[in-house]
Structure 1
Amino acid sequence: MDDDLVTRLKAYEGHRAAVAGTGKDPVNLPMIRHWCEALGDTNPAYSGPDAVAPPTMLQAWTMGGLTGHTGRSPAYDELLALLDESGCTSVVATDCEQEYLRPLRPGDEITFDTVIESVSGRKTTKLGTGHFVTTRTDVRVGGALVGTHRFRILKYAPARQRKKPPRPRPVVNRDNAGFWEGVEQRRLLIQRCTACATLRFPWLPGCAHCGGPDWDTVEANGGGTVYSYVVMHHPPFPAFTESDHGADAAGPYAVVLVELAEGVRMISNVVGTPYDKVRIGMPVRLEFRVYDDDLVLPVFRAAEEDA
């Protein structure tokens, strides 16, 4: 069976994954600037009237974004589907190699072709057993080859976890220990400066308003609204999968900034509501969720769900 699968996989070597692809945008200074700012690269060669693009941006000019490219060949999708059918349903990028023949300059119009260069035999890694797939993209300007990008992934069947890892623990220190003690008692405590009565969250060693070091606490009444949120997308992590304690399944999930009725804001999760139904201004109510024998966290539930 394995030999037959490898034969079928290797039949895809040399097939085109993309033909006559065109860069979504010409090489341009704004994108070069964003790239350099993100990486902290201040090389003067990447700015000014004679600027060139950083060589490592080679792949960036070929990316298709959310809508993809025209000219995409079905061969690569067929190969991945065959690997899925064999049980290799997970994927991880392993490495890439680039070759540069000449610098890219603002105004250059990119075209490219991608070929399935190689598919490995069955390999066993710490992640699981699967196959390495390497694609080669030849990048051209005006028909002339300017660079080559090789990209390698591992499509694998995840190794069985002998024991589910514990959910990550919050960092407890002398400045926030009182907050976590309150959580253990199912109370959400907010610091209050005893000098100016300013409430603060998260907990801090001194008042940011007046600088006073002394404080006491008030207990939140549990009401609030979603002030802002982001949706997190990432591969499943075993510690965050669904459990007997009612923990939410791995993402996508919404991370929310809740404005409490008392006026301070805190980061948490909204449970019981799909991530794409969370909205700014949505009323929420506090609840305490038990994730395992030693971990209780404050989370929020849509208030209308309690009605």
Structure 2
Amino acid sequence: MSTDRTTADRTTTADASEAAAQEVELLRRLRAFEGRPAATAGRGKDPVNAPMIRHWCEAMGDTNPAYTGPDAIAPPTMLQAWTMGGLSGHTGHTGRSPAYDELLALLDGAGCTSVVATDCEQEYLRPLRPGDEVTFDAVIESVSPRKTTRLGTGHFVTTRMDVRANGEPAGTHRFRILKYAPAAKRPAPPKPAGTAGPQRPRPVVNRDNQGFWDGVRDHRLLIQRCTACATLRFPWLPGCNACSSPDWDTVEASGAGTVFSYVVMHHPPFPAFDPPYAVALVELAEGVRMISNITGVPYDKVRIGLPVRLEFLRVDDTLELPVFRAEAG
């Protein structure tokens, strides 16, 4: 019995040592990609142009006058938009280099077959203006050691793109993905009888939005209105995004609206939420838009243009939220 156990222990130790050695070798091979190009001599498919700026601003609801007129500039956050290849991708020498595909293939071979974008960072060096020709180069900046997340275990890959306009540095865009091996799904353990579920996250209430949450407490959905130019705005801001005036009052929303856009959340799961569920961008009758949940219909019945009506959902003893119920008919 003792001999068998010693042999098993030795086998387990040997297996663990071999796995550790394989992990070290994999990381060495992954790190060899650091500093190699992810894209070389890239060129934007189109010059910076007013129609794309207009489409972006309409989608974002951004009415900043700096983005219109003869002296217009592009919103800084559009930096990466001018470098994208679209559905057809880039052709010829422009675009992604073989090194990036080789790196992803190595991760696939290591079992990291799934991918999720995690975050991006941008630094702006000069405004982009209509007519600017955009060029770029990108480099594989770093590959992390194996990390364990709720999605699974894998490696974070960070690329840095240096963007130029007419040959001048315009900005830097860092983009990070996680290439991972999906974690095995485990059934949730049954909850003991009488056990309360996890609490919904609390909204951040500060001096800029206190009035909004005071309205929710009184079952009123309040929209800010600039007293200088009468522009309505939501979410609440300390100043007007149309004329920059800091003075404002409020109007109460009628409660009518339509679904302007929506997503269905499947993964990752969060405590106190039960996926799948729909999260919608609702356009209120007053013209502003807000993000909320849709009630009264299954998540897969939510559609763009669906008429909705405001209601207030009591989440727990201390939290009530504005949501929108689908209108019948």
Normalised-by-shorter TM-score class:
0.5 to 0.7
TM-score, normalised to structure 2's length? 0.50
User: Out of 122, 134, 150, which is 1:110 matched to?
Assistant: 134
Are the structure 2 counterparts of residues 44 and 122 from structure 1 closer, same or farther at C-alpha, using a change threshold of 3 Å?
Answer: same
Matched, 1:16 2:49: no
Name the amino acid aligned to 1:160.
Answer: A
Does the alignment pair 1:41 with 2:65? no
Distance 1:9 1:127 in 2: 21
- Aligned-residue identity in percent: 76
The equivalent of 2:121 in structure 1 is 97
The structural deviation recorded for 1:17 is 1.0
Distance of 1:126 and 1:238 partners within structure 2: 8
Structure 1: which amino acid aligns with 2:176? R
Give distance in 2, aligned partners of 1:238 and 1:116: 27
CA gap 1:234/1:76 in 2 versus in 1, 3 angstroms? farther
Alignment of 1:71-150 (within 5 A): 71=94, 72-150=96-174
Query: What is the RMSD computed on CA atoms of the aligned residues?
Result: 2.8
Report what 1:27 is aligned to.
Answer: 48
For the residues of structure 1 that align with 2:265 and 2:31, how far apart are their CA atoms?
Answer: 27
Taking the aligned partners of 1:141 and 1:238, their CA distance within structure 2 comes to 38
Given that 2:73 and 2:130 are in contact with CA atoms closer than 8 Å, whether structure 1 keeps it comes out as yes
**Partner Cα distance (1:234, 1:67) in 2:** 27
**How far has the Cα of 1:142 moved from its partner?**
2.2
Mind listing any 5+ residue stretches in structure 1 that lack a counterpart? 165-232, 240-266, 270-307
Structure 2: which 5+ runs fail to align? 1-21, 189-262, 270-297, 301-329
- Alpha-carbon deviation of 1:237? 6.6
CA distance in 2, matches of 1:48, 1:26: 17
Structure 2 CA distance for partners of 1:74 and 1:149, relative to 1, 3 Å: same
Distance in 2 (alpha carbons) for counterparts of 1:145 and 1:4: 37
Instruction: Report the Cα distance in structure 1 between the residues aligned to 2:264 and 2:171, rounded to whole angstroms.
Output: 31
Rounded to whole Å, the distance in 2 between the matches of 1:23 and 1:238 is 34
The 5 Å alignment of 1:1-307 reads: 1-70=22-91, 71=94, 72-163=96-187
CA-CA distance at 1:234 after TM superposition: 9.8
AA at the equivalent of 2:167: G
1:90–1:236 distance in 2 versus 1, CA, 3 Å: farther
How far off is 1:143 after superposition? 1.8
Report if the CA contact (8 A) 2:40-2:136 is conserved.
yes
* Deviation, structure 1 residue 68: 1.3
Tell me how far 1:163 sits from its aligned partner: 2.6
